[in-house]
Amino acid sequence: MLARGMETNPATPTTANTAAVAFLVRLARALHTYGTPVHQMEDALHLTAGRLGVTAQFSATPTSILMSFGAGADESTRLLRLEPGQDDLGRLAEVAEVSWGVMTGALSPADGTTRLTEIADRGTPYPAYLTVLAFALASACAATFLAGGAREIAAAAAIGLLTGVLSAVAARRPAVQRLFDPLAAFLASAVAVTVSRLAGPMAVSLATLAGIIILIPGLTLTVAVTELSNRHLVAGTARLFGAFTVFVVIAVSVALGLAAGEAAFGSARIAAAETLPQWSLALALLGAPLAFGVLLKAAPRDVPWILLACGCAFAGTRLGSLWLGPELGVFIGALVAGLAGSLYTLALRRPVAVVRTPAILLLVPGSVGFRSITALLDSQVVPGVETAFKMITMAVALAAGLLVASVVAPTRYGR
């Protein structure tokens, strides 16, 4: 079995510059670690290798990168076995700047490798307490988007706060990290039941879903469909089944938490959510991008652009829903998000993902997928299948919007 990070046949290719190859290997690791989709990662690596005059081939999956340098008898192969990447928009932007500097000759490949190592060793731009508060803010905003009332919003914020604290603990304890998703979902459901017993009837399922909205792999599902659309079948299929597994694990954990909460405190007190005024939606639209910026570790300088892109994507989705219906309406939102990202990249020469990823998070069909799984677990087969079909339709519409945006306003890595 290959050890993580192990390289096979590490002989140095005589036809390629040693420093350039070392930089490409370090760049591949960085792009993967900070959440770059496979098709974009391979494009970036091929472009960088071409600019450096290195003969190379790259093949990536969500958990590994295979690299070949040189040709003929001088060819060598490197294999990196990695954990699935996590979105880190701030570091990703810095990596792109370093790569651009190496490609243009402003930095040598050796200096670029050193800079990438420094970026990896640097701490996050936000303190731990702010990240915990961002979990609570994201959950409260999600409850507002899901038409929750004041009680549901408060309960979701409390659950989000608990999830944030658990995330901070998991970051320091690998054993907790492996159980983070099911444990957080279990506690969220149990807390929602408890709040309904102590504070009064409410929409328990809505508060639970909003409280763990960050854990729902809607973005992973969208990336999987996008990779499949770009003919990256192995990577796309792996992400697709990975997202499905997380959906099931979270849904089962929520069901267990509900049973545990009701066993301890009695049956949940269910009531329809109260309707809030429209200005609450505007506050949520302001708060959600701020929370996403912190959770995705975006640089503070990019937060205003993230706010603008999220607002445009949300408005595009609302208009699209009026024209095409709620499932296909996300196509317009994704198209707007993709165009906003392209304009941002062309204007500031920073990665398109910096503003596009938070904007897409507002649109992903994660909540629909969660409701589909829970319906199936409750033996509601027809509603569950119908909801699953809606989720697939929305994911495909999102991917289509992003693909059309990449054709209308194409961008290249580092430019």
Please give the average per-residue pLDDT across 300-321, as a whole number: 90
- Same-domain status, 206 and 228: yes
**Confidence at 4, pLDDT banded by 50, 70, 90:** very low
Question: SS3 for 291-360, per residue?
Answer: HHHHHCCCCHHHHHHHHHHHHHHHHHHHHHHHHHCCCCCHHHHHHHHHHHHHHHHHHHCCCCHHHHHHHH
Residues 341-371 pLDDT 10s: 888 888 888 888 899 999 888 887 655 555 6
| C-beta separation of 332 from 323 below 8 A | yes
Given 269, 292, 315, the domain boundary residue is 292
- Same-domain status, 276 and 328: no
Three-state DSSP class for residue 77 = strand
pLDDT at 116 over 80: yes
Around Cβ 294, how many Cβ atoms within 10 Å? 23
- Same-domain status, 131 and 82: no
- Same-domain status, 94 and 132: no
Given 69, 97, 121, the domain boundary residue is 121
- Tokens 């993967």 belong to 32
pLDDT at 111 over 90: yes
pLDDT at 141 over 60: yes
50 domain-assigned: yes
pLDDT of residue 2: 39
pLDDT of residue 383: 64
8 domain-assigned: no
Q: What is the mean pLDDT of the chain?
A: 84
pLDDT at 381 over 50: yes
- Same-domain status, 279 and 323: no
- Comparing CA positions, the residue from 348, 206, 344 lying closest to residue 274 is 206
pLDDT at 109 over 50: yes
Please give the average per-residue pLDDT across 171-177, as a whole number: 81
Residue 196 has, within 13 A of its CA and on its CB side, a CA count of: 28
- Same-domain status, 148 and 227: yes
- Same-domain status, 237 and 149: yes
pTM over 0.75? The answer is yes
Please give the average per-residue pLDDT across 242-254, as a whole number: 87
Residues 320-343 pLDDT 10s: 888 887 777 888 988 999 899 888
| C-beta separation of 346 from 354 below 8 A | no
- Same-domain status, 218 and 161: yes
pLDDT at 13 over 50: no
Sign, CA dihedral 208-212-218-221, equals negative
11 domain-assigned: no
- Same-domain status, 279 and 315: no
pLDDT of residue 15: 40
Question: How many domains would you assign to the chain?
Answer: 3
171 domain-assigned: yes
- Same-domain status, 112 and 144: no
Three-state DSSP class for residue 231 = coil
Given 258, 277, 292, the domain boundary residue is 292
Three-state DSSP class for residue 108 = coil
Please give the average per-residue pLDDT across 192-217, as a whole number: 87
pLDDT of residue 374: 64
7 domain-assigned: no
5 domain-assigned: no
Please give the average per-residue pLDDT across 3-18, as a whole number: 47
Around Cβ 66, how many Cβ atoms within 10 Å? 15
Report how far residue 352's alpha carbon sits from residue 359's, in angstroms, rounded to the nearest whole number. 11
- Same-domain status, 29 and 117: yes
pLDDT of residue 6: 41
Residue 74 has, within 13 A of its CA and on its CB side, a CA count of: 13
**Helix (H), strand (E) at residue 56:** strand 56-61
- Same-domain status, 269 and 365: no
pLDDT at 263 over 60: yes
Report how far residue 276's alpha carbon sits from residue 34's, in angstroms, rounded to the nearest whole number. 38
Q: Which of 4-18, 51-65, 330-344 has the lowest mean pLDDT?
A: 4-18
Please give the average per-residue pLDDT across 244-256, as a whole number: 87
**Confidence at 28, pLDDT banded by 50, 70, 90:** very high
371 domain-assigned: yes
pLDDT of residue 91: 93
**Confidence at 1, pLDDT banded by 50, 70, 90:** very low
1 domain-assigned: no
Owning domain of residue 48 = 18-121
| C-beta separation of 79 from 66 below 8 A | yes
Report how far residue 20's alpha carbon sits from residue 262's, in angstroms, rounded to the nearest whole number. 60
pLDDT of residue 264: 85
